[in-house]
Homo-oligomer: A and B are copies of this chain.
Amino acid sequence: MISLTPELDKQSGIPLYQQLFAYLKGQIELGMLRENDRLPSIRQLSVYLSVSKNTVETAYQQLLAEGYIQSRLRSGLYVMPLDQLEGVKKSKPARPEVKSGAVRLPPNAINFEYGDVELEHFPVRLWKKCLVDALEECTTEVYGYGDRQGHKGLRSEIARYLYQSRGVVCASDQIFLSAGTQTMVSLLAQLLPLPEAIAMEEPGYNGVRTVLMNMGRRIIPMPLEHDGISVEHLRESAASMVYVTPSHQFPLGMIMPVHNRIKLLQWAYERDGYIIEDDFDSELRYQGQPIPALKALDTGDKVIYLGTFSKSFLPGIRLSYMVMPERAAQEFRSKLQAYSQSVSPLIQAAMYRFMKEGYFESHIRKMKKLYQTRHRMLLRTIQEQLGSHVGIIGERSGMHLLLDVYGRSGDELVEKALEYGVITYTPRKHWLHPEACPPSYIMLGFGGLNEQKIREGIIGLRKAWFP
């Protein structure tokens, strides 16, 4: 039998199957496993390594999916010829690769990853029509670099949408487009004189926090109260800028009531500071009336508003928008002269058509209903299956919620769940100090799962966690 000596580290936070997969892939790329070598059976390897069969199977499935091995009927799994792996592998062996992107799902696993969205009901035909129309109609606009601020028609549509859905009044020339919220925040930090220290909810969205920190800013963590960021603590701090998610605190899910929003705005006016409002998924509320965005209440022109199509439409469109305060917009625009727009004008022109034709609004209405049904199913199944073992956090809106699995540890929970084919996550990375995250928290995103999968997934969790 082939000698396999992976060092699997159960404490590392990286799922065991991923570690095993990376090890085997590396062995193949390094030539330690060669063409036509037969891999040990799942049972053999799981006994040999003292890991579950599921771990081995998932790693094998991944190798199969990426074309490193092939299955031969009634015979087993074999390493593929190396020259079929990649056209341009150098003579030097490549290094074993740690998965670089979103983890590819082991087939059949149920993945509660936050950020996945509904694809079954996505209007492929309409979206295709808009793309093809954009491609065919306006060549120079679509093929060139495009307006550096963003497609003018699309900006008008966004302005109209923001007014209707969020009460935000703005002109299209206050709107700036970019390839995702992180690209936008990076641009902000490049073009505005952002202060050296920026206040942020703790926990808060690590995607933005990481960008700000990597741009040399210090984060001042602000405690959360039951209804959002503590304005009192903000007042006591030296901060003159704060990043907040008032419509749906990420990741804890509270919704900031109007009187607190007004207190927060007061702070900005008194401090002559700025508020960055990230309204990433405000479309998805399941209880009560929508509260107007902070920006809609901002009489003092101090809110920089961020929105995205990743949740309301598709992550794959990579399109975010920002509403700049009126007074700051012109300066921002003039500093932008040395920059190219980061979103493909084709994508922008297609989205413009999609909104103009009314497809976007009806898509959102449909999705809202769909997610609401799933959300209900999720809550019901959790109550039924996990009952008093868990608390639910942030269940009023959005595409995820947190479980507090009383008295248990996240790492153990994630690993156990994986053995039952359910992929879960700890929300730890969203704390500036991850050790402050209660270890018993588990984050469940349900955007990409239909009702049946949600049910199966939660039943899997019950079996895994409370056998």
Quote the shortest CB–CB distance from A34 to chain B (angstroms): 19
Known A95-B330, A214-B191, A315-B144: A100·B342 in contact at CB below 8 Å = no
Q: Is the CB of B141 within 8 A of A132?
A: no
Q: Quick check: is A173 within 8 A (CB to CB) of the other chain?
A: yes
> What separation, in Å, do the CA atoms of A410 and B180 have in the docked complex?
39
> What separation, in Å, do the CA atoms of A191 and B215 have in the docked complex?
9
Q: Quick check: is A392 within 8 A (CB to CB) of the other chain?
A: no
Closest to A186 in B: B186
**Interface stretch (choices A114-122, A225-233, A398-406, A420-428):** A114-122
Q: Is the CB of A143 within 8 A of B128?
A: no
Known A90-B169, A170-B90, A215-B190: A98·B333 in contact at CB below 8 Å = yes
Q: Quick check: is A172 within 8 A (CB to CB) of the other chain?
A: yes
Q: Quick check: is A296 within 8 A (CB to CB) of the other chain?
A: no
Quote the shortest CB–CB distance from A15 to chain B (angstroms): 14
Count residues on chain A whose CB falls below 8 Å from chain B CBs. Answer: 88
**Interface stretch (choices A69-77, A203-211, A259-267, A367-375):** A203-211
Across-interface contacts of A342 in B (CB, < 8 A):
179-180, 182-183, 318, 342
Q: Quick check: is A11 within 8 A (CB to CB) of the other chain?
A: no
Closest to A318 in B: B344
Q: Quick check: is A142 within 8 A (CB to CB) of the other chain?
A: yes
Across-interface contacts of A391 in B (CB, < 8 A):
none
Q: Is the CB of A179 within 8 A of B182?
A: no
Closest to A176 in B: B100
Q: Quick check: is A317 within 8 A (CB to CB) of the other chain?
A: yes
Q: Is the CB of A86 within 8 A of B347?
A: no
Q: Is the CB of B147 within 8 A of A333?
A: no
Across-interface contacts of A235 in B (CB, < 8 A):
none
Q: Is the CB of B102 within 8 A of A144?
A: yes
**Quick one: which of A175-190 are within 8 Å of B by CB?**
179-180, 182-183, 186, 190
**Quick one: which of A107-145 are within 8 Å of B by CB?**
115-117, 119, 122, 124, 127-128, 131-132, 135-136, 139-145
9 A–B contacts from the bound complex (CB under 8 Å)? A94-B173, A101-B145, A102-B141, A102-B145, A119-B139, A124-B135, A142-B316, A182-B339, A186-B190
Q: Which 10 A-B pairs have the closest CB atoms?
A: A102-B144, A101-B147, A100-B149, A190-B214, A210-B338, A179-B342, A94-B171, A179-B179, A143-B316, A145-B315
